[in-house]
Amino acid sequence: MNRRTTISFGMRNGVAKEVIAMKKNKVLLVVALVFGVLLAGLAYAQAAGYAENGAIASVTDTITHDNVRTVNVEIATVLPDEPKQLPIYRVTDANVSKCEAIAIAKEFNFGTEPKVISYPVQPGNALSLLKTKYLFKNGSCYIEIDASSRAVMYGNSDKMMRVSNNLPSKSDAIKMAQKFLKQHGISVNNATIEAETIFLNKLDTSTNEILDKKPMMVQVRFKRYVDGMRVMGAGGKVIVTIGDDGEPVHFLRNWRTLEPAGTTDVIPLSAAIDKLKRLEVKDVPLTPIRSIEVIGVNLGYYGDIPSEEQTSYEPVWVFDVKTPTSTETIQLCVDATT
């Protein structure tokens, strides 16, 4: 019996896989790379990268899942209290000008003129308004600044996705990430901090057994809270990725400025569960789902990817769920206002 092995990168917010299938002395090599919020290259709008979990990706249209428009929902948790109203928040950021983008880039030691990139708010719509982002390059390093959302992404492509010989511990990586933010004048308030070591895993695909694993980097995530409630989606996080010898090799800031803008009515939880059954959620799982086990429910806010025009942050019902197609708990967000 021939053994089938997979060499894969153990990542949740981005996916990179190198699959080697061996059969009858023939080798088939398939390489698939998807860079997302962890290590996205030059495209902010890649949904896989900005999804909250690797099992979820942002899509613009409702997925019918083979014409199955409802799923079975099993509630396996105590349901929370249901407030009648919650605050909403207005996004107050002004567009980043070219001069301001150059000033931001200088903080990361970029002294060149940017490439100004225009892209449609609604891809595929010839009448869509255009948005702007600024791209700076210096050898293998780049920085990209989205004008309207003010999101900033920095990376060193030569030092990402590599096995590390001297990777810091998670606690040390958090300190290094905090130092990096301080050096660049970036403040992160009302956030939790977590760190995850990313490994290069060699798997036996017949058993899913990990045959070997090598550390690559430590991803430090600062997750935003508003009124004590988690901001879901891509619009509430700062990520610093620490590589070999403690060097920051990737940075992402998507943290819109908010101000109070009144209150809004909140739909009953029963109505939110009905939406969940119809998969009327913010980020639709790409893998077809026919059943969901809800193991947690809470309220939060939703922040979209930088390429989306977002003028306010409004409440969402957040369901922590398990599905037959995923080994991880994923979060599905339902609009709590309509």
Better-predicted residue by pLDDT, 262 or 39: 262
Percent of the residues in the chain that have a pLDDT greater than 90, as a whole number? 63
Q: How far apart are CA 338 and CA 14, in angstroms?
A: 31
**Confidence label for 17 from pLDDT (cuts 50, 70 and 90):** very low
Residue 69 in this model has a pLDDT that exceeds 80: no
Better-predicted residue by pLDDT, 45 or 123: 123
pLDDT tens per residue, range 213-229: 999 999 999 999 999 99
Query: Tell me, what's the pLDDT at 151?
Result: 95
Entry pTM: 0.77
Residue 46 in this model has a pLDDT that exceeds 80: no
Residue 53 in this model has a pLDDT that exceeds 80: no
Q: Taking residues 31-50, what's their average pLDDT?
A: 34
Residue 46 neighbours by CB under 8 Å, 6+ apart: 34, 35, 36, 40
Tokens of 96: 């980043």
Q: What is the DSSP letter of 53?
A: S
Q: Taking residues 4-13, what's their average pLDDT?
A: 48
Q: Closest Cα to residue 11, out of 160, 199, 169?
A: 199
Residue-by-residue DSSP string for 185-219:
T----SEEEEEEEEEEEEEETTTTEEEEEEEEEEE
Domains defined along the chain, listed by start: 93-260 (3.30.310)
When mean pLDDT is compared across 68-72, 137-141, 177-181, 235-239, the lowest value belongs to 68-72
Query: Tell me, what's the pLDDT at 10?
Result: 52
Q: Taking residues 43-62, what's their average pLDDT?
A: 34
Residue 245 in this model has a pLDDT that exceeds 90: yes
Percent of the residues in the chain that have a pLDDT greater than 70, as a whole number? 80
Q: Closest Cα to residue 313, out of 238, 239, 233, 252?
A: 233
Residue 132 neighbours by CB under 8 Å, 6+ apart: 95, 116, 117, 118, 147, 148
Query: Tell me, what's the pLDDT at 126?
Result: 80
Q: Are 83 and 266 in contact (CB under 8 A)?
A: yes
Query: Tell me, what's the pLDDT at 15?
Result: 33
Q: Taking residues 138-151, what's their average pLDDT?
A: 94
**Confidence label for 119 from pLDDT (cuts 50, 70 and 90):** confident
What are the two backbone dihedrals, phi and then psi, of residue 141, each rounded to the nearest 5 degrees? -95, 150
**Confidence label for 3 from pLDDT (cuts 50, 70 and 90):** low
Q: Are 170 and 157 in contact (CB under 8 A)?
A: no
Better-predicted residue by pLDDT, 208 or 290: 290
pLDDT tens per residue, range 160-216: 888 999 999 999 999 999 999 999 999 999 999 999 999 998 888 888 788 899 999
Query: Tell me, what's the pLDDT at 44?
Result: 34
What are the two backbone dihedrals, phi and then psi, of residue 196, each rounded to the nearest 5 degrees? -140, 130
Residue 18 in this model has a pLDDT that exceeds 90: no
pLDDT tens per residue, range 70-95: 899 999 999 999 999 999 999 999 99
